[in-house]
Amino acid sequence: MARRLNLWRWAVLGLAALYFLIPMAASVLFTVDVPGEGVTFDAYTQIVSADGFLSSLLLSLELAVATIAVVLLLTVPAVVALRLSAPRLRPVVEIVCSLPLVVPPIAFVAGIVTVLKWGPDHLSRTPLFETFVAVQNPDFPVVLVIAYVVMALPFVYRALDAGLRAVDVRTLVEAARSCGASWPQALVRAVLPNLRGALLNASFLTLALVLGEFTVARLLGFEPFAVWIYDVGGSQAQMSVAVSVLSLLVTWALLLALAGAGGRDRTASSRG
Amino acid sequence: MSVSTPDKAATVEFRSLRREFGATVALDGLDLTVRPGEFLALLGPSGCGKTTALRMLAGFEHPDSGAVLVDGEDVTRVPAHRRDAGMVFQSYSLFPHLDAVDNVAFGLRMRKVRTGERRARAAELLDLVGLGDKGERFPHQLSGGQQQRVALARALALRPRVLLLDEPLSALDAKVRLSLREEIRRLQQELGITTLFVTHDQEEALSIADRVAVMRAGQLEQCAEPAELYGRPATAFVAEFVGTMSRIPGTVKDDRVEVLGQRLPFDGQAPGAGEVDVLVRPEAVRVRADGSGTATVVATAFLGAVVRVTVRLADGTEAKADLPAHEAAELGAGSAATVSLPERPVLVAERARE
């Protein structure tokens, strides 16, 4: 019985691996094998020198960092407070945080576009007009950060909630308080270090979301990495695939770096 | 010794504390004074408000009315982190991301004590609780008893004026519980620190506390030394909560109570003439094998030094008696016996309605 189960597992794993690996291998093959020239890495070298590669990648990374910072600053105090003093509000917050999942990005961005158009018309004589301009600065579009924060909420909330479930927040806070820690100190010194795994998870998900997000950025007319890939792909088929492969590798590298930075202290995060 | 705490131990006073959680009244006018350097146990069934009282002293709960005083100073509005009270919790409360030394040093870090100094003091405190060699261990590498020892060291690190223990032993297994409670008592006496100990285990309370405060439904029932609490309980509730008590029906007549065919004096006020229950400890009940006796032995249980014999009296009530093993030898289940009480004042209570 156990052996048959084992066999099944391997079969499923094998199928899943084929499902993911064959397209990836095909992509890689397509980019390096130029008919008549043999194996060449020209497509990849072209990317790095292509116009806008570095700037769009940097923009995406900046957006990701800003989004992670904002969304964590927003949700961490909220979920901790929820656990400590208002457990009855939890379903409400859960539903609010899950709403972005049911609103399609295309509808979401349509709403944002409307507001961005409406705002300047009505506020042209007020200082808020400047705000609307600043928010859409193409060098660092704050409006994208705002949109991404909303889109990341469901994932971040879930990751943090799962992390908090494993920690007795109330006792940790009270223990810290009886040791002379003020509220903020108790939060930073006693609770956050034990949410390390959850914070990392939330950051992972947000990073992946921001790096891959296309719809909102494209329709608002900005050019982060995902949009740039699309634009490049229009002109050269081989290079666009090469860029996709590269973006996959970049994302992996970033996630690994994040895991490496966060997982250094394994003894602390694993509880017996 | 260098770890010694307060030059002068603190007095703690609860003044008519009242606290309601929705419809339930956790504290209903609690008045209690803890003397300097005293080890006071708060004892009571769950839901009697003992933990709420402790948490009010720690600053985690706030009374609807009433006041908490430490050394005569009203601390009711002082936030928890300025209360100067070390606390050990029921659940394991060590910070999982810190090793034992850093856990103990946590409070000193909050007070901005320099690294070298605080590590030295933490090591000293770990020695004090017998874990000097386990400083590098993380909480998940320590047993439950060791974790509570570290928590104790952590609670003492800031030289608090009051030590609060919230059922610190209830998550441990029996053997560890026994040794740790002796250790807590030893430490407390060594440091002379005023200590409040919350427990629902009467044996635990009687064995280590200077005085035991029995609580019921948010009020103080009796606060006395263990021997007095056991020997002369003020109320029937205390009598039955502390130790084992049997109720034997009797009749009050002219300052005496008639029970089991004897006429005995009784302590305190009778709840009124007529039918009462006489409360007796098992060690005060005598059972003698007697073929013509009206009582029947129902069960016997071997407890080591004594055998606890349960007998059914003629009217159907059951009483428990502790007898030396050699006396109990001839009292098998089902045998007839005679039950009597020594000629000493007994405690009477209103007849229990059943």
| Domains of chain B, first to last | 12-236 (3.40.50.300), 244-350 (2.40.50.140)
B45-91 pLDDT, tens digit each: 988 899 999 999 999 999 999 999 999 889 999 998 888 899 999 88
Q: How far apart are CA A26 and CA A231, in angstroms?
A: 22
Tell me the shortest Cα–Cα distance from A223 to chain B, in angstroms.
42
A176 to B94: CB separation less than 8 angstroms, yes or no: no
CB nearest to B89's CB, from A167, A171, A265? A171
Tell me the shortest Cα–Cα distance from A190 to chain B, in angstroms.
6
Q: How far apart are CA B117 and CA B108, in angstroms?
A: 9
How many percent of chain A have pLDDT more than 70? Answer: 92
pLDDT of residue A271 exceeding 60: no
Q: A55-171+197-258 architecture in CATH?
A: Orthogonal Bundle (1.10)
Q: Length of chain B in residues, anyone?
A: 354
Cα separations in angstroms, B140 against B227, B290, B346: 40, 60, 52
Paired tokens of B90: 């029921």
CB nearest to A171's CB, from B83, B93, B139? B93
B140 to A271: CB separation less than 8 angstroms, yes or no: yes
pLDDT of residue B102 exceeding 80: yes
Please give the helix or strand (H or E) that residue B133 lies within, else none: none
Q: DSSP for A122-174?
A: HHTTSTHHHHHHHHT-TTS-HHHHHHHHHHHHHHHHHHHHHHHHTS-HHHHHH
What is the CA angle B126-B127-B133, rounded to 5? Answer: 80
What average pLDDT does the structure give for chain A? Answer: 83
- ipTM of the complex as predicted: 0.80
B95 to A174: CB separation less than 8 angstroms, yes or no: no
Q: Report the residue of B81, B83, B92, B104 to disrupt the A interface, i.e. the one with the largest count of A CBs within 10 Å.
A: B81
Minimal Cα distance from A171: which residue of B?
B93
Q: Length of chain A in residues, anyone?
A: 272
Res. B5 pLDDT band, cuts 50 70 90 = very low
Q: Where are the domains of chain A?
A: 1-40, 55-171+197-258
First to last CA, chain B: 58
Q: How far apart are CA B22 and CA B333, in angstroms?
A: 50
Sign of CA dihedral A92, A94, A95, A96: positive
Minimal Cα distance from B88: which residue of A?
A175
Cα separations in angstroms, A31 against A20, A21, A186, A229, B73: 18, 15, 53, 15, 79
B219-233 pLDDT, tens digit each: 999 999 999 888 888
B60 to A196: CB separation less than 8 angstroms, yes or no: no
Chain A interface residues (partner B, CB cutoff 8 A): 167-168, 171-172, 174-182, 185-186, 189-190, 193-194, 196, 265, 267-272
Chain B interface residues (partner A, CB cutoff 8 A): 58-60, 79-83, 85-87, 89, 91, 93-98, 106-107, 109-111, 138-141, 151, 154-155, 157-158, 164
Residue A177: the pLDDT is 92
> Within its chain, how far is the Cα of B79 from the centroid?
28
How many percent of chain A have pLDDT more than 90? Answer: 21
A56-71 pLDDT, tens digit each: 888 998 999 999 999 9
Residues of A in contact with B144 (CB under 8 A): none
A9-28 pLDDT, tens digit each: 999 999 999 998 998 888 88
